[in-house]
Structure 1
Amino acid sequence: MGRLFGTDGVRGLANGDLTPELALSVAVAAARVLVESDGSHQPLAIVGRDPRASGEMLESAVVAGLTSAGANVVRVGVLPTPAVAYLVGQTNADLGVMLSASHNPMPDNGIKLFAAGGTKLPDELEERIEKAVADGHGLIGRPTGAQIGRVNDLIDGADYYVKHLVEATPHRLEGIKVVVDCANGAASEVAPVAYREAGAEVIAIHAEPDGYNINDECGSTHIEKVRDAVLEHGADLGIAHDGDADRCLAVTASGEIVDGDQIMAILALAMRDAGTLTGNTLVATVMSNLGLRIAMKQSGIKLIEAKVGDRYVLEELNAGSLALGGEQSGHIVMPAFATTGDGVLTGLHLMAQLAATGKSLADLAAVVLKLPQVLINVRVDDRQAGATAPGVLGAVAAAEGELGETGRVLLRPSGTEPLVRVMVEAATEDQARAVAERIAAQVSAASPA
């Protein structure tokens, strides 16, 4: 798998790259690295998963690894990633494990780790866990007898999480009609319930997971499905989640897509007006559209850029004690209510702003005038070579000279897939596509897949 940890945990083909043996090793290493115990207490771990069939297999391996390292385990079953993070904090657990490959197709799966409090791991801790796995330290010095961990199940974790979400919603949602696409994923139960309990009229689609249909032509990676349903049902908006529900994208009543940049702008303005946007500052990533930067500057809101990945957004938020950040992809983080990106929480806050202002989603999203943006994912053999070859760097320099201040180029190796992402913004879509295709051709030539 190359480096074990990517942008968002360990991810790969279940039972291919990501085997039960590897999952067990990661669990043992995580327990040892994350739990610094003097022997006065037995550590506690929360384990959840999305509905993928392979999650059942990997959950067993993770639980075996954790208990073999002396950790007690509470299984919470199928829940969104942010629900697992929330429960880690609420139970004062020492660590959390979420088995999910997020928006990836069903054959993949992944392991996301949370430290005490439900926070994602910094690079330093991931490197220590990765070294422990490579060195095989989990195979020595294991506890025996009464020191082996025990396993229990929490059957009402979803209820606790939904109650938290509804209490965190700033305005009741009566009068809002929403279509929610649950991606046949981890939010298939909790998202419709939370939206209804907050007062919305809810039409749920792709909310019948069978272990194999997660993200299958649905959810945030196929937003045309929720758009079609919004138009069919005459809804005020549509919301699309991904497989583990840490993302939220939206569509207007007329079917226009509202991405994470626009959602962040809507929430930032609402929080600024409410006096809750700490330092009048928003954290976004280098992938965010120039239109968001322009809109925030015009609104008197400072924008801080972070690397791609919601854990890097979180690092910036925590460093400045800030209140809002996120990604264009729909990972939105509100530290007052969650320790990680939470798609259902985001959907609730977005609808609350519609209800509070009486405005349509289209009107609220119009604050961001997006520049045409073209993203090409180039499949490569070597991500670093594809991003740093002289021909690639020369093409990027030439493009930046051509665009000047009217656009920008971003070249980024994927953290989870054998891809180099080429993103170009320009005054027109034709120009952006032409520039992006020239650079993509150089990337492909530098490292053919």
Structure 2
Amino acid sequence: MAQKLFGTDGVRGRANSWPMTAEIALKLGAAAGRYFRRDTQEHRVVIGKDTRLSGYMIENALTAGFTSTGMNVFLLGPMPTPAIGYLTHGLRADVGVMISASHNPASDNGIKFFGPDGFKLSDEAEAGIEALMENGIKAAAPENIGRAKRFDDARGRYVEYAKTTFPSRRRLDGLRIVVDCANGAAYKTAPAVLWELGAEVIAIGVEPDGTNINRNCGSTHPDAAAKKVIETRADIGICLDGDADRVVLIDEKGHVADGDQIMGLIATRWAEQGRLAGNTLVATVMSNLGLERHLNGHGIDLKRTAVGDRHVVEAMRQGGHSLGGEQSGHIVMTDYATTGDGLIGALQFLACMVETGQNASQLARVFKPVPQKLINVRYEPDKAPLDADSVQEAIAKGEKALGKDGRLLIRKSGTEPLIRVMAEAVDPALLDRVLGDVVAAVERES
């Protein structure tokens, strides 16, 4: 293959176009099956998906590839991404697969892999799979071809596990909760967990038709949930994305709390309880400066990584940290999950409500965000704006002007020909001036 197959989070693209074709999925399944086969009597893979129409095509193609190399396939159906990590390890599978394009529209799809430990693959493993695809894959002998079957108990196992992450002897009785499942992978699991813990559940985004995932709903479009919270006088709204690894929350007044606010609350509570490993929160370079200041004021360190929950998890594992995530709503708690889990993150927030007796609006704004703006600049593929002297001069000048009261972050998108220019500053006027100068310099070289 001339192009690199794996991106920042598995393989992703427009359905029925490279690389999200049945042909590529079949080869990918065969290569992953050969790469992960261990010296055990039975080789197995678990495959989950969200609710996209193209999931059927990709699921069948992957199954063909895996079985061709002797892997037995357990088909789990629509399941949250974190559930696949949990079940890969719990079922002692060689590899787990989630078919999803997360918060993207239904026209896209993606393939994410989990290793036998339940964590997403390393760069080395992804490179090894791609090498097998390029160099040829040895098929299994006819008598060793794998089998495929539906695994009907998957949803129940994850529901029961998710409930165990809520404090023992605590209940959600008396709470009215709106949960927006984005017409995605958690459309059955999330309402079930909340109801079984005692809440009155008002579920929206639970009527998937294969084409409406993330459409005007879920964590990227929280207005629908905010409206429903006000309409029903709910105590809180929970907005998941298409594969339920992200969450944003709506307080009883209809205001949105992003991942930074949720992490800020959980980190502070866990530090007070002595359960924040290393007294450190791991977040990306996109997390607000206000979060960093809040944490430092409570004696908590903030460790920043590159954008992407995989980078967060890698830093957490290397440093032995228990809490991390992204502003977009990935909340990673390695005590409970191997990747971001929107539902379990929401349960930790609900636990704070139950234990403190405070309402959502009192808990959902633990710090005042520093004004932050992001502008995307499209560039011609044959150009390299960030290498231009004029752009580097504008960046240096902007960083000097911001000093300790702001931040400037410029990076290339990993999926599109875009330069992302993000700036933060306590002074909004300074923010606009610095951002405008850098964006103008990038545009001139694009």
Place the TM-score, normalised by the shorter chain, in its bin.
Answer: over 0.9
Contact 2:257 2:365 in 1 (8 A): no
* Greater displacement, 223-232 / 435-444: 435-444
**How many residues get paired?**
442
Which residue pairs with 1:157 in the alignment? 154
Which residue pairs with 1:56 in the alignment? 56
What letter matches 1:200 in structure 2? A
Which residue pairs with 1:87 in the alignment? 87
Query: Structure 1 pair 383/230, CA: closer, same or farther in 2 (3 Å)?
Result: farther
Query: Structure 1 pair 20/119, CA: closer, same or farther in 2 (3 Å)?
Result: same
What letter matches 2:361 in structure 1? A
Residues of 1 paired with 2:101 and 2:379: CA distance? Answer: 21
Contact 1:165 1:345 in 2 (8 A): yes
Residues of 1 paired with 2:276 and 2:126: CA distance? Answer: 31
Q: How big is the shift at 1:298?
A: 0.7
Residues of 1 paired with 2:353 and 2:77: CA distance? Answer: 33
Residues of 2 paired with 1:387 and 1:113: CA distance? Answer: 32
Query: Structure 1 pair 201/385, CA: closer, same or farther in 2 (3 Å)?
Result: farther
Which residue pairs with 2:127 in the alignment? 127
Percent identity between the aligned chains? Answer: 48
Query: Structure 1 pair 240/147, CA: closer, same or farther in 2 (3 Å)?
Result: same
Query: Structure 1 pair 28/392, CA: closer, same or farther in 2 (3 Å)?
Result: farther
Contact 1:374 1:429 in 2 (8 A): no
Residues of 2 paired with 1:174 and 1:380: CA distance? Answer: 53
With normalisation by structure 1, the TM-score equals 0.94
Which residue pairs with 1:202 in the alignment? 201
The reply on whether 1:145 has 2:147 as its aligned counterpart is no
With normalisation by structure 2, the TM-score equals 0.95
Query: Structure 1 pair 53/403, CA: closer, same or farther in 2 (3 Å)?
Result: same
Contact 1:8 1:416 in 2 (8 A): no
Residues of 2 paired with 1:165 and 1:384: CA distance? Answer: 48
Contact 1:383 1:420 in 2 (8 A): no
What letter matches 1:242 in structure 2? D
What letter matches 1:64 in structure 2? A
CA RMSD of aligned residues (A): 1.8
Which residue pairs with 1:272 in the alignment? 271
1:166 paired residue among 156, 163, 180: 163
Deviations 1:48-68 (A, max 9, x none): 110000010011111111111
Deviations 1:62-92 (A, max 9, x none): 1111111211110000111111111101101
Q: Secondary structure at the match of 1:24?
A: helix
Deviations 1:85-121 (A, max 9, x none): 1110110101011110001111110000000021111
Residues of 1 paired with 2:392 and 2:43: CA distance? Answer: 49
Deviations 1:304-328 (A, max 9, x none): 1122111111111111222111111
* Greater displacement, 45-54 / 400-409: 400-409
Q: Secondary structure at the match of 2:226?
A: helix
Residues of 2 paired with 1:152 and 1:130: CA distance? Answer: 27
Contact 1:103 1:215 in 2 (8 A): yes
Q: How big is the shift at 1:440?
A: 3.1
What runs of 5+ residues in structure 1 fail to find an aligned partner?
none
Query: Structure 1 pair 428/3, CA: closer, same or farther in 2 (3 Å)?
Result: farther
Which residue pairs with 1:34 in the alignment? 36
Q: Secondary structure at the match of 2:234?
A: coil
Which residue pairs with 1:12 in the alignment? 13
